Structures are given as C-alpha cells and as structure tokens.
Amino acid sequence: MTELKGYGNESTKKIFLKHGASEPIFGVKVQDLKKIQKKVKKNHELSLELYDTNNGDAMYLAGLIADEKKITKTQLKKWAKNAKWYYNSEYTVPWVAADSDHGFDLALEWIESKKETIASCGWATLANHVIVKADEDIDLKQIKKLLTRAQKEVHSAPNRVRYTMNNYIIAVGSFIESLSIDALKIAEKVGKVEVEMGGTSCKVPLAADYIRKTTDKGGVRKKKKTARC
C-alpha cells in the first residue's frame, strides 16, 4: 500500500473520480500498477488482502495478481458485491472470473441481479468468457440465447449494463465464428446504445461497425490467452 501510494498522482485521481471512482483511491496509472504486478507476479493471498482494503487502486491491482486457479466462487461473489466502480465491476472481477473455471456459472447468476454493478459485471464476464475460452468449451446455444436477450433488453437496461451488453454483442461477433453473423444482425438491429459516461469524452462503440471491421480483416479474432490486460 505504501508503494501504491508512492505511485499516486493527483491528476490521475481526479480523472478516476470523474469516471465514478470514490475514496479511498491514490490515482495510480495502470502502467505503474503493472510495474508492481511484474515484480509480485501471481499472489493469491496478497490479492485477497489488497481487494479487502477497499482502495480503488489496490482492488485493481488485486485483479492483476490474482490466481485464477485458486480463487473460489465465494471469493469472486464477494469481489463482485464489493466492487466500487466500473473499473472493478467491469474489468477487475470479470477478468479474473473469466480466466477461472467459475466465470460462466457466475455470469449467469450475476446478470439476474437488480444491482447495476453486479449485473454489468455479469455481462462483462460473459464477454470475456467468449474471448478466452475455446468454442468447443462454450455453451454456444446459451450464448446465442443471451444475444437475443441483449437485443431485447439493452436499451431499457440500467446505464452500465447497457454498456456491457453492447460489449457482449461485440465480443460474440468478433470471437465466435459460428455466431458472428447472428451477432452482426443483432448489432444492426440494436443500433446506437446510449450510455451516460459521467460527462467524459468516452464513447460507446457501435457494435455493428466494430464487428464488421473485425471480420473484414479475415474472419473472427484469435482467442486470447487471458482476459486480463
């Protein structure tokens, strides 16, 4: 925590707060978090301790050094419940969940939550699930069913859930060849998804355009080894 504080930056902190973060947070850039990650590598117990500090930077670092083979469903549920802002609920937790063997089951549970951060965590986990898992290890029927659900619900869903539903459609269209055309058709029907980005200049990607750009380059993208980046 002392090392994290040393990397803290007031201008970065202000940006994070504008994006929905809350105190306590030091304002550490991801590139500096990765310096610590490179030194620590994977450390399951330390990741749990860091996440429990409730410090935004520490929680993000926890996800980078978490051991996906050791983390349990109970621990991931706790992480999702305690996620402070979308950096944690849409990146930290979904990354680790998708890299673990628990991601798909937890995602199906989380997307039914009435709590916006948990529901968005679920859809983000689903997106990362299709990005890292081989097609033969994916329940393609369920993934297709969820595409239809995303189409029906995306414009009426809570703010951040709209964002992660849109990303789910993009992920399916960009990484699963057998469902790419289905995802593109749904993306075209969905059109532009409006998300309040906290007054920042961040934009919501247009799913249909994103999928077309990917497939026009020679088919779907190669699966990633890990969801974390």
For residue range 9-61, list pLDDT tens digits in order. Answer: 999 999 999 989 999 999 999 999 999 999 999 999 999 999 999 999 999 99
% of the chain with per-residue pLDDT over 90? 93
Residue 79: pLDDT above 90?
yes
Q: Where are the domains of the chain?
A: 1-67, 86-229
In three-state secondary structure terms, 23 is coil
What does the DSSP 8-state code read for residue 89? I
For residue 218, the model assigns a pLDDT of: 84
Question: How many Cα atoms sit within 13 Å of 154 on the Cβ side?
Answer: 28
